[in-house]
Chain A
């Protein structure tokens, strides 16, 4: 089994979190995706630069009313993608700011935060606001990336860079762990059986 790597997507509703995930998983874009209710979990084995990672992605709902549930999704995450909408940066970055602050104070200490501006295809002409956003992130040593789930731009690069940033030591210790682990574990057997039947 490749190295599991937990990623969580946070951000205001309708900034395109589910579309980003959909683009990454299926390389497709659906303009009529329904609002996410609660959260969706999806995993994908992804290889870049001869390193294979099993991405376990939590795509959370942006709706205000699910805010109190969100900590349980980022609690074990290694990377948080905090998203905002480049089409309406002013409105959508407010929520992104909230998540960044919360992750920095309450999130796991080693979580890596990436700020993702989605909907590059709808990006506004005037760059003033974006400069402010970039400055906000620079102060906190966070990278700002731009993507377009619709056009498929920047999404692959985003996940590639996550793979590249994983220290080699983690891969090594994980494969060692794998080798040591006994085969009696029920849960593991269960998973093996599932994979053999090939249906789920």
Chain B
């Protein structure tokens, strides 16, 4: 039943900066006064309506019926929803009814009155304005000692003896004191107790520790949206950082390094590139952008997907592709596994080359191949794995991170000039004490701005030439197939069209849809096309809204046999935003709408998204991938 719950109060907020992302930007005049409310984020749930009583009883066919004690709230099913073909409608009508009631109740509770005109800072939920110098001071990674304490986010990797190995900010002088302090706190807490030190939280400050002796990983956050969630988010970030270390070093190497001397400096086996990758990782995981500045040009890559992935329990993103094409690619992978080649003559019977013996001198070309991926723009297009083993999403993310750090792809359009890459990688969840060997090659398809990347993971370090031949075969098959060579670039390029326009859901400005079972998600493509500073703020703003949405208290309702989770949230930021979360055991839908959208529209559009995504799930998600 329903418990009384107060709306989540948040400080007054107004983003006074010029507007940003296309969907964030206001078309209406920016009169600050008109956009303000007291409770900037008012998360209101069914529970907050004290009179509403909802009784749901199941009927014969698993349909649920709602009765409301409040007679005034009889909301009829909306005709607009009825236009959906009947087979698309996932849920029985009473659910729509229930949704309307839920949203209406929520809206009724929202206090829209204006109380003050103050700027609102999404990073700290204070009134401080975010401008470029603010980002410079509080957000951008800086390896200088001064200004260290001003940073909103810190990551440390220390040895158990307190020696700094990596820090997001600051130099060694500044770090030594802090790392001593941290190791002392952790050691004295854990000493004599069987407890692991996990975290300290205090008024807008949280420190999370992951003790992976002989290493200690620490994240310290004062970023408002990271503090909305429980420890899981920061812990997931720490494990991403740890996984990267394992990917390049593996667990035994780390343990062995410290075995002889506890004050071993692990930095000796890390390259400058590794430290740079950690900077990119920590910044992406926290703020949704990273500094890719080189000697001459200041540049930043803005991409909130890494943060969103950890927000959604490490869900990975798939590339949209019609299931026929995906099936063709899968078939190529499987046929590659079955490919037989003659053994080189030196290995075969050297004296008898007659026909009789050739059968015995063949072997499976890709016998060492364990996992294969086709990747486009950090999204999985196709994936092959053995029947007995699967890669966890965390490992796939580490692999994608490694991939993005290799020599810039597409730098030379001449395929002849691109090398084949071959490197060891330790995928921690798969096996943290051994290395797989990864073969990487890019395929430049005509009319496609980015290359298609083929990853072949082999268990044998000497199998480079077999992997190279397999890659030759796979690429030749793709290029030879008329359907693939023409439709694949076309469909991959279509993946950048905003889904909200395809789906005709004009009020929903952006959405994320996750299928729980496969733990994969798709999101409406985001394009950041303004100047760098605004793109960064936009990206963080999206992180803020989605985190606030997923951390708002949700209401659980039983519809038929399934439990639905609902959250309706309004933010009095800028021109106002409405967030809506709808989830059950199969899926999670997160929607962001500009302005305050009526329940009729919101429900109709979000159900349309759900129906569409479920209907096209084979096109949107790869599921477990193809097996051999």
Q: Which one, A40, A41, A191, contacts B472 given CB within 8 A?
A: A191
Whether the pair A26, B248 counts as a contact (CB closer than 8 A) is no
What is the minimal beta-carbon distance from B465 to any residue of chain A, in angstroms?
A: 9
Whether the pair A186, B341 counts as a contact (CB closer than 8 A) is yes
Contact-residue size bin, chain B (C-beta under 8 Å from the other chain) = 35 or more
CA distance A185 to B365 in the complex (A): 13
A72 interface residue, CB < 8 Å from B? Answer: yes
CA distance A199 to B284 in the complex (A): 35
B405 interface residue, CB < 8 Å from A? Answer: yes
Q: Is the interface of A mostly helix, strand, loop or mixed?
A: mixed
The segment from A57-65, A81-89, A155-163 that touches chain B is A57-65
Q: Which one, B248, B341, B412, B464, contacts A187 given CB within 8 A?
A: B341
Assuming A32-B294, A65-B248, is B479 touching A200 (CB within 8 A)?
A: yes
Interface residues as binary, A130-167 with B (CB distance below 8 Å gives 1, 0 otherwise): 00000000000000000000000000000000000000
Whether the pair B480, A65 counts as a contact (CB closer than 8 A) is no
Whether the pair A34, B408 counts as a contact (CB closer than 8 A) is yes
Assuming A39-B422, A187-B341, A199-B415, is B479 touching A34 (CB within 8 A)?
A: no
CA distance A69 to B464 in the complex (A): 12
> Please, which residues of chain A bring their CB within 8 A of the CB of B424?
38, 66, 69
User: Most chain-B CB neighbours within 10 Å: which of A35, A38, A39?
Assistant: A38
A42 interface residue, CB < 8 Å from B? Answer: yes
Closest to B437 in A: A38
B271 interface residue, CB < 8 Å from A? Answer: yes
What is the minimal beta-carbon distance from A52 to any residue of chain B, in angstroms?
A: 15
A190 interface residue, CB < 8 Å from B? Answer: yes
Closest to A59 in B: B419
Chain A interfacial residues counted at CB < 8 A: 39
Q: Which one, A40, A42, A193, A199, contacts B443 given CB within 8 A?
A: A199
Q: Which one, A18, A42, A69, A185, contacts B461 given CB within 8 A?
A: A69
A91 interface residue, CB < 8 Å from B? Answer: no
CA distance A20 to B411 in the complex (A): 17
What is the minimal beta-carbon distance from A185 to any residue of chain B, in angstroms?
A: 6
Assuming A35-B271, A185-B342, is B422 touching A199 (CB within 8 A)?
A: no
Q: Which one, B339, B416, B469, contacts A44 given CB within 8 A?
A: B416
Q: Which one, A65, A184, A187, contacts B249 given CB within 8 A?
A: A65
Whether the pair A31, B253 counts as a contact (CB closer than 8 A) is no
CA distance A77 to B488 in the complex (A): 39
Whether the pair A34, B342 counts as a contact (CB closer than 8 A) is no
B402 interface residue, CB < 8 Å from A? Answer: yes
A105 interface residue, CB < 8 Å from B? Answer: no
B133 interface residue, CB < 8 Å from A? Answer: no
Whether the pair B271, A63 counts as a contact (CB closer than 8 A) is yes
> Please, which residues of chain B bring their CB within 8 A of the CB of A187?
341-342, 365, 469
> Please, which residues of chain B bring their CB within 8 A of the CB of A36?
407
Assuming A64-B268, A72-B462, is B419 touching A190 (CB within 8 A)?
A: no
Closest to B268 in A: A64
> Please, which residues of chain A bring their CB within 8 A of the CB of B420?
40-42
Whether the pair A35, B273 counts as a contact (CB closer than 8 A) is yes
What is the minimal beta-carbon distance from A42 to any residue of chain B, in angstroms?
A: 4
What is the minimal beta-carbon distance from B86 to any residue of chain A, in angstroms?
A: 46
CA distance A38 to B269 in the complex (A): 14
CA distance A25 to B341 in the complex (A): 30
Interface residues as binary, B460-478 with A (CB distance below 8 Å gives 1, 0 otherwise): 0110100011011101100
What is the minimal beta-carbon distance from A96 to any residue of chain B, in angstroms?
A: 18
CA distance A133 to B340 in the complex (A): 50
CA distance A190 to B408 in the complex (A): 29
> Please, which residues of chain A bring their CB within 8 A of the CB of B264?
none
CA distance A31 to B473 in the complex (A): 34
CA distance A66 to B358 in the complex (A): 38
CA distance A92 to B468 in the complex (A): 32
Whether the pair B295, A37 counts as a contact (CB closer than 8 A) is no
Whether the pair A34, B405 counts as a contact (CB closer than 8 A) is yes
CA distance A66 to B435 in the complex (A): 12
Task: List chain B positions with a Cβ less than 8 A from chain A.
Answer: 248-249, 253, 268-269, 271-273, 294-295, 339-342, 358, 362, 365, 402, 405-408, 411-412, 414-424, 437-438, 441, 443, 461-462, 464, 468-469, 471-473, 475-476, 479-480
Task: List chain A positions with a Cβ less than 8 A from chain B.
Answer: 13, 18, 21, 25-26, 28, 30-42, 44, 59, 61, 63-66, 69, 72, 184-187, 190-191, 193-194, 197, 199-200
By Cβ-Cβ distance, the 9 closest A-B pairs, closest first, are: A38-B423, A40-B419, A35-B273, A42-B419, A199-B479, A200-B475, A37-B423, A41-B420, A186-B341
| Apart from the given pairs A25-B417, A199-B443, 20 other A-B contacts in the complex at a CB distance below 8 Å | A13-B271, A21-B419, A31-B295, A36-B407, A38-B423, A39-B422, A40-B421, A40-B422, A41-B464, A63-B271, A65-B253, A66-B424, A186-B342, A190-B473, A190-B476, A199-B479, A200-B471, A200-B475, A200-B476, A200-B479
